[in-house]
Amino acid sequence: MRWPYDPNARCRTTERRFWLGAMIFLAVALPIDLVEDPLQSAQAGDAHYSGKQGQILVVNVPTDGGVTGVEGTFLGRSLSFFPDTRFEEPKGFVGLIGIDLQDEPGIHELTVKVQAGEQNQTFTYRVQVLKEKFHVERLTLPKNKVDLDEKSLARWQAEQAQVKEMLANDSPTKLWQGGFVEPVAGKRTGIFGSVRVMNGQARNPHNGEDIGAPLGTPVAATNDGVVRLTVDHFFSGKGVFLDHGLGFYSMYFHLDEVLVKDGDVVKAGQIVGKVGASGRATGPHLHWGVKLNGARVNPYALLDLPFKGSVQSAAPVPVTVPGSGVGAPDP
Ligand SMILES: [Zn+2]
């Protein structure tokens, strides 16, 4: 029996038909490391895929019409799917799964709920999270930026609460489109996810990528969105949080200057600030971070997503890159 099966519906052939070709296909979006078992049967729910910590999985749900919504859950995080407009006619829904840099390696369940009017069906898939070998980074920073005094600790906690509250209110619609822009075409330090040892003490892993660029280099928005929050925080310094909708945020920290304000609507490539060394940073650089439904992913994974548009990298390439600094929004 195929789902949805409604023996009383004589005139709902379209609704019955939509599901026939429904299947799920996952592809990994960064250094291809996809282990894909043969898809035996989507309805058996035993497809098996994998991606490394910090990567983004693209989940396609081809449908045959009649589907009104698709949503999913992975490791307790809610996933929003959106109509796939990459083709001339809608071919279904697509969603992005972020694998957090600290997601436990191993097999985890991905559940996908497909809604068709009043009816819905849930499918379960197995996703293998592979361990990424992150660097260990040893930093020496001013003592007062590592061992916080009471006042700084209270400030940091209030800032954390502010960010947490902001991230809890996802925009219900997808605001981004087309391809993604590299905010600064500088020198990547490749330290996303690195385990940090500051002044000899182990701290939270580095949750973004640092890009070395001269002071004042323009920083471009990676895609369309809304400026959800501009801050001047203890660790991240002057920063911009862009909301791209459906639980997808990009962050730009340690800026010298913020050129947008809360609530501004920005386009991909629009300059939102200038590279600086504000907050906890050892020199001018951009800390670029991305959160997808709460998962901290490598921002460079965005550039390899199969959503190409006409946008180009807007930030000029710096001629020289003085010693790229590093910093962190978390202690
Ligand atoms: Zn950083």
Residue with tokens 């959800």: 228
Q: What pLDDT does residue 48 have? A: 52
Q: What pLDDT does residue 217 have? A: 97
List the structure tokens of 20.
């026939």
Q: Indicate the pairing of strand 248-258 with strand 237-243.
A: antiparallel
* d(CA 171, ligand 1 centre) in Å: 26
* d(CA 256, ligand 1 centre) in Å: 15
15's enclosing H/E stretch is helix 13-17
Full set of structural domains in the chain with CATH: 9-130 (2.60.40.10), 136-304 (2.70.70.10)
* d(CA 270, ligand 1 centre) in Å: 21
Whole-structure pTM value:
0.79
Those residues with Cβ within 8 angstroms of residue 209's Cβ, 6 or more apart along the chain or in another chain: 188, 189, 190, 191, 192, 287, 288, 289, 298, 299, 300
Residue with tokens 């996802």: 170
* d(CA 210, ligand 1 centre) in Å: 5
Check: CB of residue 98 under 8 Å from CB of residue 58. Answer: no
* d(CA 266, ligand 1 centre) in Å: 23
* d(CA 263, ligand 1 centre) in Å: 25
* d(CA 187, ligand 1 centre) in Å: 13
* d(CA 81, ligand 1 centre) in Å: 29
- DSSP-assigned states of every residue in 212-248: E--TT-EEE-SSSEEEEEEEEETTTEEEEEEE-STTE
87's enclosing H/E stretch is none
Q: 20-56 b/e with 16+ CB inside 10 Å = b?
A: eebbbbbbbbbeeeeeeeebeebeebebbbbbbbbbb
pLDDT (tens place) for every residue of the chain, 331 residues total: 334 333 333 333 333 333 433 344 433 332 222 223 333 333 344 445 789 999 999 888 877 778 888 999 999 999 999 988 777 666 788 899 999 999 999 999 999 999 888 888 888 888 989 999 998 988 888 888 788 889 999 999 999 999 999 988 889 999 999 889 999 998 888 789 998 888 888 888 999 999 999 999 999 999 999 999 999 999 999 999 999 999 999 999 999 999 999 999 999 999 999 999 999 888 999 999 999 999 999 999 999 898 875 433 333 333 223 333 444 444 3
Q: What pLDDT does residue 29 have? A: 33
